[in-house]
Structure 1
């Protein structure tokens, strides 16, 4: 069936207009989920039916909902929506809003980048100097040059590749990715320990005096290892609504993050491998200004949100789990990444690495965490942002708000996923229109 025929079939279907409105409602989702069933709203005291939503009344007799995938390579509209939520989540913890008081802007806060250590020399982007200047003729134990005299542009595909794959510590690199959350937990513990030591009090008393709040995002480097970008803030014990003690300054926060990071280590159980963050640690204060500074609240929130919808670096990670070893050989990735994935798969079969579930996370080069995480009281939550958006849509559509004196009964089952070829063309057009509207709105602001 030709594309033109598919489009015509879609456009002439009796449910086309209602279907089109539904796809607009879910933002042009590229892989929607279709459900069969109903939701009934009943009066709590009498059981009287107040409202009913059934698949029978929906276009094509299916309730179509957004897939909600957070990866831009899987569904751009849903990923962009999540990116926007992340921006507001981070920004509200810096400038207030979303039930966070504006006084949070007076709290000490920094933007920090935590790097991975070196697992072997890799090709890198340089400006005006060789990639890896070394004495001519110097070779590694495997007979390969330990230097590189080329000057690589930023888009050179060789960037991130090891100079010698046999020298590169693939096993340690994979284990680092797999245990970054363990390193982060120890960093959080060290922050309180260092503060308590500085003021000669116990950790429990320090936690009752001050709270360290954060929001962070993981970024895959082209060499396949994880970096963390994080906003770290001093609060009073009750979070952003509570000012920190007068002695909790920005300078103290910077000093404490540095000292706590130096002490972070994690020994992988059953292996003796000791993991640490890299020595390159960038910490800069976040300014309360609105323009003219690279580290304003808005700039930092935008920077962190960017990585939520773009966690995959082309050729470095894949967006679906790997089900068998044979698949690794045909993945659209670089040979360096393929080796890291294969290392994940091999380590995942060993008893000592079973808790890390490395085969499940091989497509992410061993990284098991969420792309974005935050401390409990950093700011608002994704759930609250989604609920506010749903309330706004109900109000815009003239629907009554949820009543606490009602009972909701839901019974839904999965039908199928995705669009037909014709439907996909219209959904893509809707997504393009919404993207243009966002860009125009951004330019206008």
Structure 2
């Protein structure tokens, strides 16, 4: 670049052009591009300085050194790993793909799970929240809330309990209560906060129900059969959590062990229904008794790739879709709330704002201290993982990440393979995160290119193992 260009032409460029030019003319530009492609075009990368030294334990000789000084701009840039699509789409997409592999391997085999697991009884179940008050709803073939036979037209607060409208699916009114004073906001928040405990009780009740139906003890039931699951949490429009879950019968030794011949899809369905009805939880310090909602949808999962059936890959794709989208526009926010004043300016509906304020209020009471409701107010009190599974359901996120990291090491030579006679000294310090404006544009382009390549590969092999997110 000539001196005259620096002094005259550079000043005439727009801010965007200057940022792009500054980034592209940096001596480390090509190496930096390769690094950003290596981390998938992460939108908010983390920058570290330091080193990883590999030493021979017998001689103390330096076998291998990996330092930030050798990296572009003198720092190691790694992916943020955020699982929220609203925070980092490339990293969320990677996590979505991992979730798909976790779920589908437990249905169709693969990733250390034997293919014979496809013959095990398995269902896709949706567990809903109970009612906390009448809310507006979307119904394609009827009005929102018709009048009940023999019922009144107004509540005790003098507000209508009927709604003759036919709300569109994207109507922001859907999920909001017909009467806010009738709606049990504290119970709705406490439901979200205790869903983890309710699920644990449900899982325990499954064995009690099996034991009862077979006329054996619960210990004997556990020694003869296992119920494995993978589930994802989703917010309903009213702000209450419900669960979508894959549930499967295994033999006592896990997915490689066939269940007893008496373990059928019908028994699995009946067991889930019975166990769900028996779940209840008394909230300490209140008179609230929490239960699952009356609506419980259970459908068998069929092997194959048919378009008309609830197949293995369709279920895995469905669950993976939700794992990176825990935030619902107008209902939740993707960052913790630091003070009560912030609540009044959040980009949420009035109904969600009341739920968040209720979290904040209940979080200040001693009887609810253990729930950390203020910390989880941005999630309406929900404090569990968006996706979780039983221990023996399938492979793990850790195993998938380890396999991917090993592949990356082979390509990038960042670390030597494990050596029993070597000692590793790792010292890394955080120095910041993110990009300059110019760098962000190149990173976005890389992320788009990688996504286009993935979609092309999936389209080229629609029925293969790459099928999924």
Show the counterpart of 1:6.
19
CA distance, structure 2, for counterparts of residue 149 and residue 403 of structure 1: 72
How many residues matched? 445
State the TM-score, normalizing by the size of structure 1: 0.97
CA distance, structure 2, for counterparts of residue 325 and residue 294 of structure 1: 48
Specify the SS of the correspondent of 1:283: strand
Show the counterpart of 1:307.
322
Show the counterpart of 2:436.
420
CA contact (8 A) 2:302 2:309 kept: no
When residues 163 and 11 of structure 1 are mapped into structure 2, their CA distance, relative to the original with a 3 A threshold, is same
CA distance, structure 2, for counterparts of residue 215 and residue 15 of structure 1: 44
When residues 52 and 314 of structure 1 are mapped into structure 2, their CA distance, relative to the original with a 3 A threshold, is same
Specify the SS of the correspondent of 2:42: coil
Measured against aligned partners, the alpha-carbon deviations of 1:387-422 in whole angstroms (never above 9, x if no partner) come to 111122233457753333322211111100111111
Measured against aligned partners, the alpha-carbon deviations of 1:209-257 in whole angstroms (never above 9, x if no partner) come to 1111100000011110001000011111111111111211111101100
Structure 2: 5+ residue stretches without partners = 1-13, 462-469
CA distance, structure 1, for counterparts of residue 411 and residue 66 of structure 2: 18
Specify the SS of the correspondent of 1:179: helix
Residues 1:124 and 2:118 aligned together: no
Residues 1:440 and 2:453 aligned together: no
CA distance, structure 2, for counterparts of residue 41 and residue 182 of structure 1: 45
Following superposition, the deviation at residue 133 of structure 1 comes to: 0.8
Show the counterpart of 1:268.
283
CA distance, structure 2, for counterparts of residue 407 and residue 206 of structure 1: 47
Specify the SS of the correspondent of 2:50: strand
Show the counterpart of 2:465.
none
Choose from 378, 382, 396 the match for 1:363.
378
Residues 1:58 and 2:71 aligned together: yes
Residues 1:30 and 2:46 aligned together: no
Specify the SS of the correspondent of 1:39: strand
Residues 1:87 and 2:100 aligned together: yes
Measured against aligned partners, the alpha-carbon deviations of 1:332-373 in whole angstroms (never above 9, x if no partner) come to 111111110000000000001001110000000000000000
Structure 1: 5+ residue stretches without partners = none
CA distance, structure 1, for counterparts of residue 309 and residue 184 of structure 2: 35
Choose from 288, 302, 314 the match for 1:287.
302
CA distance, structure 2, for counterparts of residue 216 and residue 169 of structure 1: 27
CA distance, structure 2, for counterparts of residue 45 and residue 143 of structure 1: 84
CA distance, structure 2, for counterparts of residue 264 and residue 274 of structure 1: 10
Measured against aligned partners, the alpha-carbon deviations of 1:21-62 in whole angstroms (never above 9, x if no partner) come to 111000000000001111112223333222111111111111
Q: How does 1:286-435 map to 2 (within 5 A)?
A: 286-397=301-412, 401-435=417-451
